[in-house]
Amino acid sequence: MIEGIGAAAGVAIGKAFVLPSWEWDLPDQKMDTVDLAKEFERLYEGIRTSKSEIQFIKDEFREMVGVEESSIFDAHLAILEDPEFMNEISGIIQRQYKAAEVAVKEAIDHFVTMFDLLDDEYMKERAIDIKDVGNRLLKHLLGAPEVTLPNDTQPYILVAKELSPSQSAHLNPSYVLGIVTMNGGKTSHSAIMARALGIPLVSGLESNLNLPVQTGDMMVVDGELGRVYVNPEKSVTDHYIILRDEQRRRKEQLQVLASVEAVTKDGTMLKLAANISSVKELEAALKHGAQGVGLFRTEFLYMDRKSAPDEEEQYQVYRLITEKAGNHSVVIRTLDIGGDKPLDYLELPEEENPFLGYRAIRISLDWKELFKTQLTAILRASAMGNIKVMYPMISSVEEVRQADALLKEAMADLDARGLAYNPNIQRGIMIEVPAAAMIADLLAAETDFFSIGTNDLVQYVLAVDRMNEQIAHMYHPYHPAVLRMLRMIAQAAHQAGIDVSVCGEMAGDERSVPLWLELGIHQLSMSPQSLLRVKHRVLNTTASEAMTIARACFGMSTGAAIEDKLTAANISCTPAGPGRP
Ligand code: PEP
Ligand code: MG
């Protein structure tokens, strides 16, 4: 067994196809000065052809998985226009009299080595992009054939040193059962694409690989645990065949619930919406029966790029999501950057305590133009459907007022430009900081709805960093302090007559259903993969019984006791039901 990083969950069993890497053997002879003009002409021709090829791949890929994922290829097009990269190539041709392909190869090596040396995930990803674009250019300069994936064979497990975005764009889930890469991590482009396509992926195997894999070898890939088996024993394959089939069966069983409404046996209805960060995720969520989007984490539109998306780009994404959501509502959360989500181009300072620092609304209220651009795009899209706007990490009434003032300015801008928007757009806030919970009554007077972000609320209430593995056992969503705070928030919302929903991970834990029923929370938003599990729990619940269980939990003094009670109730309530898919 070889261990790597589990980058896209699922089990794949099949034969390996080892992708040959692009390796070039280039002569290093010098050119005649008279040939220089010819070399530049070849270079420009190669750039033109590469550009149209990348544009073609981008269009194809957009059709397949969506706008955001295909924007990776904008980065590739930008490399072919990048003055630094181009000057490096021209300089080598002009000053060292080297052939265009040699200059391109040396320029790639120069930048890749430079970026690889930086201990920065983002720059390492850029190194892969440069290699990918450079190889495409080299291929044209040398007239070499494309290294392609077979699409006319039996399904296979793809093994590659690293998978470039252009290669990932050609992945066809009908043929590619799973992927194993020597390089890369969870945030690499190929990981994002594999997850979007539902293909199990284990990456980052390089340091652990001691067995060379050959095309045709039998393999098992466990994308959850990050394990790869080459020519495994029969017992291993048998175990994974059972696991794979069980996962498929559970998924299929739950899938029949997609079109059913989430109503308890005694008639209490819960609305189950999805947390998404891309159009592709919304598509998956709708397949799982999501009733709209309860949380669109827009910061992912801003990450892994050199500058912020402009108004038009954001508008197109928000519009598309609204269109796809149909009659359902879409809650667009404004930029929640900082903490564990950095943005290179904002050059945010290193902080001792990033989660207690410059984050979310605090940044937006400082970077007013950046924030207003986003608000304007959201407003424009609000003319097309049921969009609500939500501010993250609110801790005071002033923050809500300042954000609203900028929203008004954005509306005035649109009036001046004669563009349509919904002037009555609902404005809500995340309740995820204890201060906000304590003044929930005051905040309720300022906003149209609350959404409780339990991921942050738990970390702030318990003073347990949600990223710190050492104290992960203390991160307890069922701690009595958390439950009391949830009750305070719900009561304040009910008294003010505003909607309150939950959008943290707790909403996707089916054991929590009794708590929501007791607290009068009728809307939950969760990761698309949790929707059917939670719905299954709701369908098998009697609200009156669940409320008795929840009341008992509110009277308990430890998180462990509460969790045990909810777990036991879950088991007794859904004995024959399918488990976690
Ligand atoms: C939360 O904090 O619960 C939440 C939903 O937001 P995020 O996980 O994006 O911080
Ligand atoms: Mg949060």
Q: What is the CATH number of the domain that holds 563?
A: 3.20.20.60
Ligand 1 proximity of 459 Cβ (cutoff 6 Å): no
Ligand 1 proximity of 336 Cβ (cutoff 6 Å): yes
Ligand 1 proximity of 294 Cβ (cutoff 6 Å): no
Q: ∠333-337-342 over CA atoms, to 5°?
A: 150
- 415 inside domain: yes
Q: Which ligand is nearest to the CA of 504?
A: 1
Give pLDDT, residue 156.
92
Ligand 1 centroid–CA 419 distance in Å is 32
Radius of gyration of the chain (CA): 26
| Residues 371 and 468 grouped into a single domain | yes
Span 158-162, average pLDDT? 86
| Residues 201 and 77 grouped into a single domain | no
Share of residues in the chain with pLDDT > 90 (%): 53
Ligand 1 centroid–CA 554 distance in Å is 24
Q: Which residues of 504-540 are buried (b: 16+ CB within 10 A; e: fewer)?
A: bbbbbbbbbbbbbbbbebebbbbbbbbbbbbbbbbbb
**Cα–Cα distance measured from residue 499 to residue 329, given in angstroms and rounded to the nearest whole number:** 13
DSSP, residue by residue, 535-551: HHHHHT--HHHHHHHHH
Give the domain-ending residue among 223, 252, 281.
252
Ligand 1 proximity of 506 Cβ (cutoff 6 Å): no
Give pLDDT, residue 341.
73
482 band by pLDDT with thresholds 50, 70 and 90? very high
- 149 inside domain: no
Query: Looking at the predicted structure, is the pLDDT value of residue 28 above 90?
Result: no
- 151 inside domain: no
- 296, 362, 456, 465: residue to mutate for ligand 1 pocket, most atoms within 8 A of CB: 456
| Residues 214 and 350 grouped into a single domain | no
Query: Looking at the predicted structure, is the pLDDT value of residue 580 above 60?
Result: no
Ligand 1 proximity of 509 Cβ (cutoff 6 Å): no
**189 given a catalytic annotation:** yes
152 band by pLDDT with thresholds 50, 70 and 90? low
- 272 inside domain: yes
- 148 inside domain: no
- 503, 506, 512, 527: residue to mutate for ligand 1 pocket, most atoms within 8 A of CB: 503
| Residues 267 and 178 grouped into a single domain | no
- 60 inside domain: yes
Give the domain-ending residue among 142, 165, 183.
142
Q: What is the pLDDT of residues 288-322, one digit of tens each?
A: 999 999 999 998 888 767 789 999 999 999 999 99
Q: What is the pLDDT of residues 188-215, one digit of tens each?
A: 666 766 776 778 999 888 766 555 788 8
Closest Cα to atom 3 of ligand 1? 453
Q: What is the pLDDT of residues 340-368, one digit of tens each?
A: 677 878 888 888 888 899 999 999 999 99
Q: At what angle do helices 397-417 and 368-382 cross, to 10 degrees?
A: 60
Closest Cα to atom 1 of ligand 1? 453
Ligand 1 centroid–CA 477 distance in Å is 13
| Residues 481 and 535 grouped into a single domain | yes
E-assigned strands of 315-413?
330-333, 387-391
Q: Residue 324: is it exposed, middle or buried by C-beta count within 10 angstroms (0-12/13-18/19+)? A: middle
| Residues 388 and 479 grouped into a single domain | yes
| Residues 383 and 524 grouped into a single domain | yes
Give the domain-ending residue among 117, 142, 167.
142
| From 503, 536, 553, 573, the catalytic residue | 503
Span 154-179, average pLDDT? 81
Ligand 1 proximity of 503 Cβ (cutoff 6 Å): yes
Share of residues in the chain with pLDDT > 70 (%): 88
| Residues 413 and 508 grouped into a single domain | yes
Domain range for 277 is 256-572
Q: 32-36, 188-192, 337-341, 564-568 — which is least confidently predicted?
A: 188-192
Query: Looking at the predicted structure, is the pLDDT value of residue 573 above 80?
Result: no
**Cα–Cα distance measured from residue 101 to residue 283, given in angstroms and rounded to the nearest whole number:** 42
Query: Looking at the predicted structure, is the pLDDT value of residue 581 above 50?
Result: no
68 band by pLDDT with thresholds 50, 70 and 90? low
- 497 inside domain: yes
Q: Which ligand is nearest to the CA of 454?
A: 1
Span 255-275, average pLDDT? 96
Residue 55, domain CATH: 1.10.274.10
Residue 189, domain CATH: 3.50.30.10
* Average confidence score pLDDT of the chain: 88
Ligand 2 centroid–CA 392 distance in Å is 7
More reliable by pLDDT, 82 or 580: 82
| Residues 231 and 289 grouped into a single domain | no
Contact 457, 433 (CB under 8 A): yes
| Residues 303 and 353 grouped into a single domain | yes
**Cα–Cα distance measured from residue 138 to residue 22, given in angstroms and rounded to the nearest whole number:** 10
| Residues 132 and 248 grouped into a single domain | no
More reliable by pLDDT, 387 or 247: 387
Give pLDDT, residue 172.
76
Give pLDDT, residue 579.
39
Instruction: Identify the bridge partners of residue 387 per DSSP, sorted by sequence position.
Output: 330
Element (H, E) at 126: helix 121-142
Closest Cα to atom 4 of ligand 1? 453
Ligand 1 centroid–CA 161 distance in Å is 34
- 377 inside domain: yes
**503 given a catalytic annotation:** yes
**Cα–Cα distance measured from residue 226 to residue 47, given in angstroms and rounded to the nearest whole number:** 38
| Residues 184 and 308 grouped into a single domain | no
Closest CA to 135 of 217, 48, 258, 24: 24
Domain count, the chain: 3
Minimum-distance ligand 1 atom for the alpha carbon of 432:
2
Query: Looking at the predicted structure, is the pLDDT value of residue 391 above 90?
Result: yes
Ligand 2 centroid–CA 192 distance in Å is 21
